[in-house]
Amino acid sequence: MRNRRIALLLGPALLGLSLLSPFSSSTANAANAANAATTATAAPALPQGTQSDAAYAASQAANAVSNVQATSARTSCFRPEVPYAANSGPAEGYSGMTPCPAGGATTGEDTGAAGPYPTQVGSNPGYPAATPMLVKGHSESDLRVDPTNPNHLIGASKWVVSAEGYNHLLGFFESFDGGHSWPVQGHIPGYEGWTDNTDPVGAFDTWGNYYSLLLPYQFFYNADGSHDFSVGTSREANPVVASQAISVAVRPHGATTATQWLTTRGGHPDFVATYDSIGNGPDKQWIAVDTNPNSPHLNRIYAMWVDFHNKTPVPYVAYADARPDGTHTDWSTPQALPEPPNTPQGATYLLPHVAPDGTVYTTLTNSDPAHRLCCDAIFLDASHDGGQTWTTVSTLPGTITPPPGSYANTTFRDGIEDTFTLGSRPVNGHYPLYVAYEDYATGVVNVLLTASYDGGASWSAPIRVNDNAAPVDEFQPNLTTGPDGTVSVAFYDRRLACAAAGTAEARAAGLALDTANPKHPGAPYGATDYCVDTSVQFYDPTLGPLGHNLRLSAHSFDPQLDSPVEGSSTFIGDYFGNVIGGTTDYTTSVTTYDDGTNPAHLQQQQVTAVAVPLH
C-alpha cells in the first residue's frame, strides 16, 4: 500500500511541487502514544491463555510446519521505466540497482533486453532504463489456491529492483505441487511502462483463471532521490500512459510459462479506472470472485479501491463477469460505496468477500483527523444484488487505537490495520463474519478478533489473538477460513529475541549487516521487540481456540535488511498471504534469513504449510 499517497494529496503536490517524503508519521505517532498513555486498559480476554517463549519457539517443529523460500529459486529481471542509481550498501544489506547478470534471467520472462516494452514506447528522453535490471527484493504478498486443483497455488508480491528507490513492479510465483516447489515465476507483464506497479492481490474464478488486480503509477526521481509525481512536464517518464490506474491481468487456466498472461482489452491495458489529475490518487485495491455454486452471480468479479480525492479517501467498487477463457465482460461504471452518517474523513481498507448465497460484504476503516488520527472505526457494507446497490450494515462497537507510524526499535511502517473474512458454513442460520485488527491501546500492538453471527447486525466482544506473555508488538493479522469452518489468523510476531552474537543463527540472519538503524546502535544481537516471525492461531467457527499460537517460520528475520525505503520509513509490506487449501493452511510472508539460498539476505517470500487442526 502507498501511505505516501496521503502526503501527495495533503500538501506540496497539490501545487505541482515535488514530494520530498511520504506521509510523515510524527504527528500520528505522538497522537497514538498520547492516546495509549491515557486510555491504556487491560487487554481483552485471551481464551487460550499465554504460553512461554520456549513453548512458542518449539511449536514450529512440533507441528511439522514446512518452510520454503519460494522467490529465491529463480533469477528474474525486467527493464524498469525509471532507473535509480543510488546504492546505500553494504549497510542494511543494500546493493543498489544491478544490471541483469550475464547469464540472464532463468524465469523465461521477457526481460526487455530486445528493446522497450509496448507500454514504454513514447517515453520521454532518458526513459526507460537502458538495460534489464536484476530483481532483488520481494516485499508484501498475497496467496491464492486454485478451486479446480488444491495443489495449484499462485502467490504475488512486489518485485523490487531498487530497495533504495522503492522501485518495483508486481511479480508472481506459482506452485503445482502444494507449495513444495515454485518453478514458474517472474514479473507480471503488460505494465512495465509505469514506474511502479503495486499492492499484490488476486483471486481465482471457478474455471481456474487467476485475476490479478493491479495499481500501476508513475513518478520520477528528484536530484535528492525523492519521488516526484508531477504530470505534463518533460521530466515525466511516460506521458502516453495514464498517470495512475486500477487494472487487471489474467493468468488463464493451464498457463505454464512466465509470459502467459492476458493483459489487454480493447487494444489497451485492461483498465478498471484511470486517473491523470493531481488531487486524485487510487490506492488500496482488493478483489474477490464469486465462486459459490448456488449464487445467482457465480463468477462475478468485484474490484474495490479507494480514490484519495483531495485527501479524502472515497471507496469505489466495479464489477464484471468472468468467462471460461479468462476474458470478462465490460467493467461496470465505478460507484462510491456508502458510509455511515457523519463519517469524518472517508474510508479505506476495502476487503470484499462473497458469502455462499452471493451476498457481497466488505469492511471499511475510518480514521478521525479531527482528533489527530487518534481512533479508528470499522464498518460493514453489503450488497444483495451482485454489486448493483449497497447498504451500510453496521459499525463495529468501540474505537481502535491505530499502530504507530513505524514500529519500536526499527524503521519499518505498517499499513492495513484490519482483515476480514467469511465462514463457509452457517452458524445459527447465518454465515459467520470475522474481523481481526491491530490495537495499540496498551502501548504495544495486539491482534484482536471479533465475529458476527447475524449478518453483521451485532458483533462479539473482541478477544486477544496473540498469546505472548511479555508485551511486544504483534501485527498485520490475516484471516482466512477453511471448508469445515476453521478460522485461521496469521500475523507477524516479535516475541522472540534476535539471535546472540557469535552464533550460527545470527550469521544466517545477517545481523552483522544491520548497522545503520537510527533507532538502534549497532547490530541487534539479542535485541527484543525487533526481529520478526510469522505465527498463526486457529479457532473453531465460534472462536473457541484450537491450541496456542503456532510459530510458522523456522527462523526469525531482521526487518531492517534490504527493506524498501519510503522517505524516513522502510517497508516489509502492509499485509501478507494466508489461505487454506483442503486441510492445509498456507502463508507467504517476508524473510531475509539465509536458508542456504539467500546469502545476500534479500527480502524473499517464505511459504509455510501446516495441517489445519481438527475440531
DSSP annotation string for 187-219:
EPTT-TTSSEEE---EEE-TTS-EEEEEEEE--
Average pLDDT over residues 540-554: 98
Are 511 and 536 within 8 A, CB to CB? Answer: no
Nearest to 467 by CA among 547, 551, 554, 549: 549
Let me know the angle formed at the C-alpha of 463 by 458 and 467, rounded to the nearest 5 degrees.
Answer: 165
Report the sign of the C-alpha dihedral through residues 59, 61, 66, 71, in that order: positive
Q: For residue 343, what pLDDT band results from cuts at 50, 70 and 90?
A: low
Report the sign of the C-alpha dihedral through residues 196, 349, 583, 611, in that order: positive
pLDDT on residue 278: 72
Q: What are phi and psi of 259, to 5 degrees?
A: -95, -5
pLDDT on residue 374: 65
Evaluate if residue 110 carries a pLDDT over 70.
yes
CB atoms within 10 A of CB 338: 18
Ramachandran region of residue 420, left (φ > 0), alpha (ψ -120 to 50) or beta?
beta
pLDDT on residue 15: 28
Beta-bridge partner residues of 317: 304, 335
Per-residue model confidence as pLDDT tens digits over 250-300: 999 999 999 999 999 999 999 999 998 777 889 999 999 999 999 999 999
pLDDT on residue 21: 27
How far is residue 322 from each of residues 302, 361, 379, measured CA to CA in Å?
A: 10, 19, 29
Are 121 and 240 within 8 A, CB to CB? Answer: yes
Nearest to 316 by CA among 354, 287, 289: 287
Nearest to 163 by CA among 74, 218, 97: 97
Whether the pTM exceeds 0.95: the reply is no
CA dist., res. 136 & res. 415, Å (int)? 22
How far is residue 49 from each of residues 26, 432, 464, 469, 538, measured CA to CA in Å?
A: 35, 24, 10, 9, 14
Q: For residue 368, what pLDDT band results from cuts at 50, 70 and 90?
A: low
Evaluate if residue 19 carries a pLDDT over 80.
no
First vs last Cα of the chain: how many Å apart? 36
Average pLDDT over residues 490-508: 98
pLDDT on residue 165: 97
DSSP label of 56? H
Evaluate if residue 537 carries a pLDDT over 70.
yes
Nearest to 424 by CA among 355, 353, 351: 355
How far is residue 511 from each of residues 90, 495, 518, 523, 561, measured CA to CA in Å?
A: 12, 17, 15, 6, 9
Query: DSSP states of 384-426 as a string?
Result: SSTTSS-EEEEE-SS-B-PPPSS-TTS-B-----EEEEE-SS-
Evaluate if residue 465 carries a pLDDT over 60.
yes
Evaluate if residue 2 carries a pLDDT over 50.
no
CA dist., res. 478 & res. 353, Å (int)? 14
Q: For residue 415, what pLDDT band results from cuts at 50, 70 and 90?
A: confident
pLDDT on residue 369: 56
Cα-to-chain-centroid distance, residue 409: 22
CB atoms within 10 A of CB 358: 18
| Of residues 502 and 23, more confidently modeled | 502
CB atoms within 10 A of CB 303: 28
Average pLDDT over residues 526-535: 98
Evaluate if residue 125 carries a pLDDT over 90.
yes
Cα-to-chain-centroid distance, residue 114: 32
Evaluate if residue 310 carries a pLDDT over 80.
no
Grid coordinates belonging to 98: 544491478
CB atoms within 10 A of CB 249: 23
Average pLDDT over residues 292-310: 94
Sheet with 66-69, side-by-side order of all strands: 66-69, 604-611, 584-591, 577-581
Let me know the angle formed at the C-alpha of 505 by 532 and 87, rounded to the nearest 5 degrees.
Answer: 70
The rounded percent of the chain whose pLDDT value lies above 90 is 84
Evaluate if residue 370 carries a pLDDT over 60.
no
Query: DSSP states of 503-557 as a string?
Result: SHHHHHHTGGG----TTSSS--TT-SS-SBEEEEEEE-TT--B-SS-EE--SS-B
Nearest to 303 by CA among 259, 245, 346: 245
CB neighbour class for 586 (10 Å; exposed up to 12, middle 13-18, buried from 19) = buried
Q: For residue 430, what pLDDT band results from cuts at 50, 70 and 90?
A: very high
The amino acid at residue 585 is D
Average pLDDT over residues 140-164: 98
Are 589 and 121 within 8 A, CB to CB? Answer: no
| Of residues 212 and 28, more confidently modeled | 212
Grid coordinates belonging to 47: 481464551
- 129-138, 364-373, 459-468, 489-498: the lowest-pLDDT one: 364-373
Look at residue 327 and give its three-state secondary structure. Answer: coil
Nearest to 598 by CA among 89, 68, 175, 155: 68
CA dist., res. 218 & res. 81, Å (int)? 9
Q: For residue 34, what pLDDT band results from cuts at 50, 70 and 90?
A: very low
Query: DSSP states of 124-150 as a string?
Result: PTT-S-SS-EE--EEEEEEEEE-TT-T
pLDDT on residue 14: 29
Per-residue model confidence as pLDDT tens digits over 167-216: 999 999 999 999 999 999 999 999 999 999 999 999 999 999 999 999 99
pLDDT on residue 37: 37
pLDDT on residue 367: 80
Q: For residue 602, what pLDDT band results from cuts at 50, 70 and 90?
A: very high
